[in-house]
Chain A
């Protein structure tokens, strides 16, 4: 059974016919063609589906699309301006070499965005806590933490 959901994604309103049990992850990827959020574990353990809803990071694989009508949903595609310029975080990840396979990257950037919006001057430990809900199998996290530090301290 489907229902029309009115979703505000990256500032744009979309009216989408969703299955009642459809997750926000599925709607973003399969209906709105926003492939930034990734399907990793699809069970709330890996973090690569992380998006922001009303300014708070959450797992889109564990969010029903119908639960977030009327809320402000932000995906990684909504971070850069006009779709061409990279955001400071995205720029820092590239410059620092904090991306290898890229699968965790979008989710970790959203977690980092949430962190910096709530705590613009995080300590090293606070950064690591801020991305503790995101797994990365490639980088060992060092460059990721440095990239976030660069943004926090204004280097990038």
Chain B
């Protein structure tokens, strides 16, 4: 946090003021909402050129609304506000989001924001994996235009995203319906830890969730943690789960074993590649189990 002397610190209450500040200072601006990864960015050398902090935590971007099944979240809504919202608490479709938001400790949940998390574009975080599985999109604004990005195309590399200079994420949209369930699970060494591996699964059933036969027709499966420069999708696992038939224990075993076709885990000082590769299967299974358990309630 205490990097080289700043030349300005602004905390606007109006979005247009914020966008003008971004236009004025461009890439020399550090945009801060909860600020929970500023230390992480600083330690990795990303803040060496920062001249100005733009604190957006007072902007009116905290609204959470739910319409026709879809969740609309202002980019500076906190994890706490989102976790306590009725759709996240009650809808099986948003289960992966509820699971992911439940991991960090109170000091993080009280101030961290979805916008900040996604903007950092870090596969070691949890929300990119969870929201990718839910097929989320995000909206950004600059003084020139509004843009919408599908998360599938938003993350372009490690700490790299499609956001251009002058753009601020203003909202995230997550589709939901009553025919889907989802789950997320994470391997961490303590509550403040980045993911060693995390997994998120969203499953959609032909005749809805109450039908006992529950034929799965769509699956979205994403992995994060040390799996690559961005979160990774696993079409091989998706194909096995969404074959139009009910999900059985055998099918789950086959599905998680197929993850290695699409995802090769990385080794680093936090975990070996071999360990991570094994944990991909374990945590994918846990994420599927969490999604399926929601059907029993």
Complex contact A132–B9 (CB within 8 A): no
CA distance in complex: A61, B105 (Å)? 15
Q: Which residues does chain B contribute within 8 Å of A3, judged by CB atoms?
A: 9
CA distance in complex: A1, B191 (Å)? 36
Q: Which residues does chain A contribute within 8 Å of B108, judged by CB atoms?
A: 44, 133
Complex contact A43–B6 (CB within 8 A): no
Complex contact B32–A133 (CB within 8 A): no
Contact of A23 among B1, B6, B107 (CB under 8 A): B1
- Candidate in B39, B57, B107, B192 with the most chain A CB atoms within 10 angstroms: B107
Complex contact B53–A21 (CB within 8 A): yes
Q: Which residues does chain B contribute within 8 Å of A45, judged by CB atoms?
A: 192
Q: Contact flags (1/0) for A90-113 with B, using CB distance below 8 Å?
A: 000000000000000000000100
Q: In the complex, how many residues of chain B place their beta carbon closer than 8 angstroms to a beta carbon of chain A?
A: 31
Q: Contact flags (1/0) for B92-117 with A, using CB distance below 8 Å?
A: 00000000000011111011000000
Q: Does A47 contact B (CB under 8 A)?
A: yes
Given contacts A23-B1, A64-B53, A67-B35, 8 further A-B contacts (CB under 8 A): A20-B8, A21-B6, A26-B2, A59-B36, A64-B35, A64-B55, A66-B55, A111-B105
Q: Does A152 contact B (CB under 8 A)?
A: no
Shortest Cβ distance from residue B145 to the other chain A in the assembled complex, whole angstroms: 29
Please give the residue numbers on chain B whose beta carbons come within 8 Å of chain A beta carbons, in ascending order.
1-9, 11, 32, 35-36, 38-40, 43, 53, 55, 57, 80, 104-108, 110-111, 190-192
Interface residues of A in 113-129 (CB under 8 A from B): 114-115, 129
Q: What's the A-B contact tally at a CB cutoff of 8 Å?
A: 96
Task: Tell me the nearest residue of chain B to A131, going by C-beta.
Answer: B105
CA distance in complex: A59, B39 (Å)? 12
Which 5 residue pairs across A and B have the least CB separation, nearest first?
A: A133-B105, A132-B191, A43-B39, A56-B110, A20-B6
Q: Which residues does chain A contribute within 8 Å of B190, judged by CB atoms?
A: 132, 135
**15 residue pairs bridging A and B, Cβ less than 8 Å apart:** A20-B7, A21-B3, A22-B2, A23-B1, A47-B107, A56-B80, A56-B106, A58-B107, A62-B35, A62-B36, A67-B11, A115-B106, A132-B105, A133-B104, A133-B106
CA distance in complex: A19, B5 (Å)? 8
CA distance in complex: A23, B2 (Å)? 7
Complex contact A1–B192 (CB within 8 A): no
- Candidate in B1, B5, B7, B191 with the most chain A CB atoms within 10 angstroms: B1
Complex contact A1–B5 (CB within 8 A): yes
Please give the residue numbers on chain A whose beta carbons come within 8 Å of chain B beta carbons, in ascending order.
1, 3, 19-23, 26, 42-45, 47, 50, 56-59, 61-64, 66-67, 111, 114-115, 129-135
Contact of A20 among B32, B43, B53 (CB under 8 A): B53
Complex contact B106–A111 (CB within 8 A): yes
Shortest Cβ distance from residue B99 to the other chain A in the assembled complex, whole angstroms: 14
Complex contact A62–B105 (CB within 8 A): no
CA distance in complex: A44, B38 (Å)? 9
Complex contact B110–A62 (CB within 8 A): no
A20-B53, A43-B43 given; A57·B9 CB < 8 A: no
Shortest Cβ distance from residue A40 to the other chain B in the assembled complex, whole angstroms: 12
Complex contact B106–A21 (CB within 8 A): no
Task: Tell me the nearest residue of chain B to A63, going by C-beta.
Answer: B35
Shortest Cβ distance from residue A110 to the other chain B in the assembled complex, whole angstroms: 9
CA distance in complex: A61, B35 (Å)? 10
Q: Which residues does chain B contribute within 8 Å of A56, judged by CB atoms?
A: 80, 106, 110-111
